[in-house]
Amino acid sequence: MKLKPVFFIIAATWIFSAFSQEPSDLEKAYNSMKKSEFEAYLDTVNVNSDEAIACRSYYEAIMSDNSEQTVFLLETMKNLFSETKYGQKAMLELSRYYILKRDYEKASALLNSINNPDLSEKNFYLSHIRLKRKKYEESVITAQNFIKSSDDATKKEQAYIFIAESYIKLKKFTRALNTLQYLKKSELLKNCAPLCQFKIGFAYEMSGNYKQAATEYKKVISDFSYTKYSFEAEERIRNMKKDNAANTGKAAETEEPETSETKNEKTVSNAKKDSPKVLKFYLQAGAFGSKRNADKLAKKIMGKGYPAAVFPKILKGKELQVVAAGPFEKKQQAKTAKEKLLKEDIRSFIIKRY
């Protein structure tokens, strides 16, 4: 007779719970069991020490599907077990919740109360908050401290972005560029590659080196096509061209003052011209090598009540069919449509087009 797998789960649960459990035991169980198994295990586990009680409460909180209950449990842990490791981990989780709520004051207070050296992640979130609160020097220092003490490659990558953004805000463009170029060449760069390249262009633009800025923005467009940063890069290039044209026009006006005759000529000329193009918002929902697949997605979007278009774009010698919903006059309209389409499993991001 074969024993069913559930027998082993029950047996393992009984063995685990027969004795008082320590945090390390709970951690092992959490990492080795499925969610349903671990929840059943938590119901039977016996804990005595404050650290173990805090550990069990922590896992109960983060595994809850009810966000209000999670916050309540974490707040309770903060009040009862603030000196334990898991009490401080609860404070870290709470700070993340308040950051999402943009309550930076509460989040900062929680993070500053964490003194466990193993929780260096607190400096990552403090750097983020200080950047948002325009405390740029402090953001740089905190991010640097996090990078020195953490092994989390994903967050270290983002921390370098925090540093670069802070330097740009401080108008220390050389430092910003050095930081971004270092990140670009490092093994850390993965998720933030398009953003990193875009920020390099932006740093050059803010420093007044428009020629190099355009070069860097073009790299975003060619290397990271159809990301939101490629469209932002296109817009930055357009704006730089407009600014340059405006400055050239001002210089011409200074050199050749208008007369009543030239004013009349301009009035007639402008009346004949078409009205200026206006940037509108679109939702890019996909890019396909097949026109058939692009049309299929466009029809699906139209079936949800939104206009959609398919237009070709050449990428490295290959033609792709881009699907976009819109246009929308206002950004908020595009955001609302984006949320509704997401509910229909249609992912998209906002772009600007004439």
| pLDDT for the residue 287 | 86
| pLDDT for the residue 163 | 97
Long-range contacts of 24-32 (CB under 8 A, 24+ apart): 26/52, 26/55, 26/56, 26/59, 27/55, 30/59
Per-residue pLDDT in tens (0 to 9) along the chain, 354 residues: 444 454 444 444 444 444 456 777 888 888 888 888 888 887 777 777 888 888 888 888 888 888 888 999 899 988 999 999 999 999 999 999 999 999 999 999 999 999 999 999 999 999 999 999 999 999 999 999 999 999 999 999 999 999 999 999 999 999 999 999 999 999 999 999 999 999 999 999 999 999 999 999 999 999 988 788 888 999 899 989 887 776 655 544 544 444 444 444 444 444 444 445 567 888 888 888 888 888 888 888 888 888 887 877 776 667 788 888 888 888 888 899 999 898 888 998 988 776
Q: Are 161 and 124 in contact (CB under 8 A)?
A: no
Backbone angles phi, psi at 171, to 5 degrees: 65, 30
Residue 44 CA to residue 54 CA, distance in Å, equals: 16
Stretch (H or E) spanning 352: strand 349-353
Q: Are 133 and 165 in contact (CB under 8 A)?
A: no
Long-range contacts of 343-349 (CB under 8 A, 24+ apart): 344/300, 344/304, 346/285, 346/297, 346/300, 346/301, 346/304, 347/285, 348/283, 348/284, 348/285, 349/228, 349/283, 349/284
| pLDDT for the residue 148 | 95
Q: Which of 259, 277, 283 is nearest to 350 (CA)?
A: 283
| pLDDT for the residue 246 | 63
| pLDDT for the residue 252 | 47
| pLDDT for the residue 14 | 41
**pTM of the predicted protein model:** 0.65
Q: How far is CA 283 from CA 132, 295, 348, 352, in A?
A: 27, 15, 6, 9
Contacts of 155 (CB under 8 A, 6+ apart): 121, 124, 146
- Cis ω before 327 (30° cut-off from 0): yes
